[in-house]
Amino acid sequence: MLQTSEKIWMDGKFVAWADAQVHVLTHSLHYGLAAFEGIRCYKGKSGSAIFRLPEHVDRLFESAHIGLIEMPFDRKQISEAIVETVRVNRLEACYIRPLVYIGYGAMGLYPAENPIKVSIAAWKWGTYLGDEALSKGIRARVSSFTRHHVNVSMTRGKISGYYVNSILAKREVKADGYDEAIMLDPEGYVAEGTGENVFIVRRGVLKTTPLTSILEGITRNSIIQLAKERNIPVVEERFTRDEMYVAEEVFVTGTAAELTPVTEIDQRRIGSGKPGPITQTLQKAFFDVVGGTDSAHRQWLTSV
């Protein structure tokens, strides 16, 4: 159950959590054209800080642009509103959800002059894939649902309606007792999870899907940088599901998932069946950054 906070920012002002409502004929509710972000704020040794806020705000604006949604606020206003939302709710660590959506007005597929609305909510949220996911890993299954094709859905946009595909895949694998789904692209190569990017370690090389049919993950980008700094070879290339099966290590990354090991896929144990050494090294490096103990990446943190 979602743990409520006190206030939500809506179109430039704060309203009580319970009063943050929209009309049932809100256009985006019916047709799914909205842009959103997932951002985390961490409690570190120097206080609370939001992880890679400028990059998340840039991606929000890029998603809106891809969807032909004209933002009614600029980047500076949205960035300040995100920080203030965390402050107003007195949250030391939290998940932040900005949403840009098409409001009430005309119905039908063409939204005409419907107003563009923006909301920002923040709440306490722990480990996304389970209490022991970060330490022990998760079980995943390759979904029967195919991930988006670049000419069906523009995959660089974090668009609300695209996630129906993820919901179907997630419900499918959860019903079969797995923690997460891994989705293939239309040509049968590994794309991403329902809300995460996928990495494998094969013969000491860290591989991840190139930015062809997947969302440009900000945590993904961070892990690639951290790996290179530790002299871990990194390549961005396509790989198949059976290459995952024989990999020494597999993990997924994302704002919600952070860096979560995958220890079983399709009833096949991955490596030793436990989080591997490269996974553990990068997981520690990531949490050192977000916890403020890695001064080399202080620019990734925005103080609250």
Active-site residue flag, 43: no
**Residues 126, 137: Cα–Cα separation, whole Å:** 15
User: CA of 180: how far to CAs of 127, 266, 300, in Å?
Assistant: 14, 11, 28
Number of helical (H) and strand (E) elements in the chain, helices listed first: 8, 17
Query: Residues 201, 249: contact at Cβ < 8 Å?
Result: yes
User: CA of 121: how far to CAs of 49, 64, 110, 196, 280, in Å?
Assistant: 16, 18, 28, 21, 32
**Residues 285, 280: Cα–Cα separation, whole Å:** 8
- The catalytically annotated residue of 7, 117, 158, 170 is 158
Query: Residues 99, 159: contact at Cβ < 8 Å?
Result: no
**Residues 241, 266: Cα–Cα separation, whole Å:** 10
Strands (E), 157-196: 180-184, 190-193
What are the structure tokens assigned to 65, written together?
């642009």
Q: What contacts 276, CB < 8 A, 6 or more positions away? A: 201, 248, 249, 261
Q: Which long-range contacts (CB under 8 A, 24 or more apart) does 205-210 make?
A: 205/233, 205/234, 205/235, 206/232, 206/233, 206/234, 206/235, 206/278, 207/234, 207/235, 207/236, 207/237, 207/239, 208/234, 208/236, 209/236, 209/238, 209/239, 210/236, 210/237, 210/238
Query: Residues 129, 257: contact at Cβ < 8 Å?
Result: yes
Active site residues: 158
